[in-house]
Amino acid sequence: MNYYSCGKLLITAEYLILKGAKGLAIPTKYGQRLSVKKNSKKYIVWEAFTCDNKKWIDCTFDLKFRLLKSKKTKTNYINTLSKILQNINVLSPGFAGEGLNISTILEFNRNWGLGSSSSLINNISNWLNLNPYELLKKTYKGSGYDIAVANSKKSIYFQKKGDFNEITETKFSPPFKDNLFFIHLNKKVDSQKEVKKFLNRKNEFKDDILKINLLGDMVIKENNQEIFNEILKEHEEIISKIISKKPIQKVLFKDFNGQIKSLGSWGGDFILASGDERTPNYFSSRGYNTIIPFSKMKI
């Protein structure tokens, strides 16, 4: 039994999507594979491989999802897997049968933040015919937009409306897309920590959400790159005030000829750079070597 889910990037409404803002998200050409085989050994073997085929998880659990043994696997990963298995069993009792061999393979670097958790949850849900949003809610915090992208494999608008998720497929392919690049900032932000911290804020940000929703609509319709850049800049300024962090362009890239927008949790993972043919050289000369053109990232 083999399953595949694509990764994701949230282009607009980062942070505020947790409070009900409408976010534009795109699917990536990088994803995660899941393979499941039955065994009759009364235990569950879970192996996970990186994009360069290195094993980073190697655990064996009993059928009550208690760890029997592990090889060079960090404790937090073991705890997360045990929790996932327990939550799966709540939604699908006895799913493990007499035993299972579970294997996952990532197509992207684990530090990239393209959705190693969400693509895993979606693959498991497809395998067992579960509601992926239920499994996500039991296992991780988050809006669920990443699950929606993994299922759609198309660009979408995602908005939480109470217990209901409004998902609308859309097209995001600007005429100047050859001037758009995704650059990784060489560090990983703990998105779960950022999510919990933001959800604890009591402010509902109603006026800011209205502005962000409008800018999100404008992003996909704009055919002029200069105006597109102004939209990104205004979006950055709104989020900057909300989370009390300076936009990354003001901190690290003041001399960049174009506009930069943070994606996801600010300070790590990917940024979107709207520039020109010189943009890759600009970032590589500053030590940022993961530079992916729009057409090579987005499905």
Residue 281, domain CATH: 3.30.70.890
Q: Which domain holds residue 228?
A: 177-297
- The last residue of one of the domains, among 138, 169, 200, is 169
Q: Which residues of the chain have pLDDT under 50?
A: none
- The last residue of one of the domains, among 110, 145, 169, is 169
Q: Are 6 and 150 in contact (CB under 8 A)?
A: yes
Opening angle at CA 92, ends 91 and 97, nearest 5: 150
- The last residue of one of the domains, among 169, 196, 231, is 169
pLDDT at residue 214, as a whole number: 98
Same domain, 10 and 86: yes
